[in-house]
Amino acid sequence: MKIAVNTRFLMPNKLEGIGWFTHEVLQRWVTWYPEHEFVFIFDRAYSEEFIFGDNVKAIASFPPARHPLLFWWWYERTIPKILRQEKADVFVSPDGFTSLHTKVPSLMVLHDIAWKHFPNQVYYTAQKFYEHYVPKYCQKATQIATVSTYSKQDIVQSFDIDSDKITVVHNGSHTNYQPLAEAQKETIQQQYTAGCPYFLYVGSIHPRKNVANLLRAFEQFKQQNPSNLKLVLAGRMAWQTGEIGTLLPTLKHKDSIVFLGYVPNEQLPLIVGAAYAMTYVSLFEGFGIPLLEAMSCGVPCITSNTSSMPEVVGNAGLLVEPTDVSDIATKMQDIWSDKSLYQKLVTNCEVQAAKFSWDLTARKLWDCLLKCVPNN
């Protein structure tokens, strides 16, 4: 079987949610199924680090699909042409888009439809593209996979899609996210917070991530609890971050807030593992991989009671109303002061994290692929 894959999110040193999903699944598929040929379709020059085996053919295509007009050209002109030339049996697209102008069966991974719930947090042209094309892509795709039960229900209700067409595959966590020894934790804390324990946020910073309310809650927590606890934020500034810049100088405890920016992949598991708790109070998530990474390290979570986050964190965290700053601050106080509660959550982390793995993700997604081409 010849499997063509949209690999435009495989970019060196820029792997985030969709990129990591693509990376982890394809690395396993190429190794597990050497009898099949994979055609990786990039939208620019590619790195050899993503060519996972001899059964991979890489194609650098044009144009770079980084703007709605270029999205259309790449998916509706470039992709159909390559699929014809390569005589592909199936097309896998892990970024929530597919092609309307091909007869090749397609498996589309639609992680979430956050743009539908928060239209003001997406560029106007991108929002219009999503509104017009994503419902069409959902109808066109032979099979759809998504990463949480919440996202499946959201897609079904929003676009009137048959639920039998959609499979939940969840995300996984890298195996290097593991509990740290106390000595390791102390070393990392010394490196980043002068030896102090810390709450942690991991992810890009933009309005949907609700970082401004996290900062306000941490300020309230510090005012009520004069501890040496710090707040560390690990992630790049993405878009619409002006509120953060305006808010930060007004905080009395801003010296207890540490912005690390983008953290290299080899260092991030150590920073997560040394955290006291993950504070991830996003307004909306299709999954929320930082929650799983934290639990894999035995680090409890404070997260939102919305969308997929309760599903992911289970009994390994405390839930908050993300727009209620006092609620977030109170849960910070609870997880910091109630040591029996904290230890219970730590114990629950191992149980909850064990429900997810990239191996399981890859196997379930392969089963979805086989539904697209049942005779192969």
The domain limits of the chain are 2-172+358-372, 182-353
Please report, as a single letter, which amino acid is at residue 99.
S
Query: How would you classify the pairing of strands 166-168 and 90-93?
Result: unpaired
Q: Are 213 and 322 in contact (CB under 8 A)?
A: yes
Q: Examine residue 207 and say whether the peptide bond preceding it is cis (omega within 30 degrees of 0).
A: no
- Please report where in the chains the tokens 């593991």 appear, as a residue: 178
Q: Are 2 and 369 in contact (CB under 8 A)?
A: no
CA separation for the pair 207, 119 (Å, rounded): 11
pLDDT of 260-293, one tens digit each?
988 888 899 999 999 999 999 999 999 999 999 9
Instruction: Find the helix or strand (DSSP H, E) in which 218 lies.
Output: helix 211-224
pLDDT of 355-369, one tens digit each?
999 999 999 999 999
CB under 8 Å, gap of 24 or more: what pairs does 221-224 form?
221/329, 221/332, 221/333, 221/336, 222/252, 222/253, 222/256, 223/252, 223/253, 224/329, 224/333
The pair of three-digit structure tokens given for residue 86, joined into one six-digit string: 């390569």
What's the pTM value of the predicted model, to 2 decimals? 0.91
CB atoms within 10 A of CB 337: 11
- Please return the burial class of 339, using the count of CB atoms within 10 Å of its CB with bins 0-12, 13-18 and 19+: exposed
Secondary structure of 91-126 in the HEC alphabet? Answer: EEECCCCCCCCCCCCEEEECCCCHHHHCHHHCCHHH
Degrees (nearest 5) of the Cα angle 104, 105, 110?
120
Please report, as a single letter, which amino acid is at residue 243.
E
Let me know how many helices (H) and strands (E) the chain has, helices first. 15, 13
Cross-strand partners of 279: 302
Mean pLDDT of 105-125: 93
User: 210: closest CA among 287, 324, 365?
Assistant: 324
Would you say how long the chain is, in residues? 376
Radius of gyration of the chain (CA): 21
| Assigned CATH class of 2-172+358-372 | alpha beta
Looking at per-residue pLDDT, the higher value among 121 and 233 belongs to: 233
- Look at the domain 182-353 and name its fold: Rossmann fold (3.40.50)
pLDDT of 298-357, one tens digit each?
999 999 999 999 999 999 999 999 999 999 999 999 999 999 999 999 999 999 999 999
pLDDT of 17-60, one tens digit each?
899 999 999 999 999 999 999 999 999 999 999 999 999 999 99
pLDDT of 188-245, one tens digit each?
999 999 999 999 999 988 889 999 999 999 999 999 988 999 999 998 876 667 788 8
CA separation for the pair 271, 144 (Å, rounded): 34
Task: Tell me whether domains 2-172+358-372 and 182-353 share a fold.
Answer: yes
